[in-house]
Amino acid sequence: MISLASDMTDSKGRHARGWLFFDAECEFCRTVAACLAPRLYRLGLAAAPLQDPRVSALLALPRAELLRTLRYVTPERQFCGADAVLALAAEIWWLRPLLWLAKIPGALPVLRATYDWHAGRRRCNAQICSPVKPRGLYEDR
């Protein structure tokens, strides 16, 4: 269980077994997070904006690095980018086909490259958010 009441969210005593951290400056990210929030809540998960200063402190990342990609954090691991989407797919039944797709040989690098391409083109305040540096299609993370 990750408690964000004292570490990084409001003081309402919210606890979750995992947190989805999204870019609140990105309209697409906000929309997806808002759509997922009720499902996440029912699963014992939660969502919070990456812009919250407590998130940077918890994850021990500088702001510029923090805002590069979506993050999903559990007590055991931290996932980012396409890997965060796939970790969420393991929790949400209607996203599970993404897990099946990722198991096809060569598909995971394509999913990562697709995520990076999309994240690098999102609209946000250029002074706050720097685009993702493009990676080679099969470059290892």
Is residue 126 assigned to a domain?
no
φ and ψ of 19, to 5 deg: -130, 135
138 in a structural domain: no
Provide the domain count of the chain: 1
pLDDT at 28 exceeding the cut of 70: yes
Please give the distance of CA 83 from its chain centroid, rounded to a whole number. 8
Displacement of CA 111 from its chain's centroid (Å) = 14
Is residue 14's pLDDT more than 70? no
Kindly compute the dihedral angle of the four CA atoms of residues 96, 102, 113, 59, in this order, to the nearest 10 degrees: 60
Per-residue pLDDT reduced to its tens digit, 58-96? 888 888 888 889 999 999 999 999 999 999 999 999 999
Does any domain span residue 75? yes
In a domain, 137, yes or no: no
Residue 19 domain-assigned? Answer: yes
CATH number of the domain to which 75 belongs: 3.40.30
Structural domain contains residue 22: yes
**Tens-digit pLDDT profile for residues 125-135:** 444 444 444 44
Q: Are strands 15-16 and 2-3 parallel, antiparallel or unpaired?
A: antiparallel
Residue 29 lies in a domain: yes
pTM of the model: 0.75
**Which domain, by its residues, includes 55?**
2-120
8 DSSP assignment: T
Look at residue 79 and tell me if it is in a domain: yes
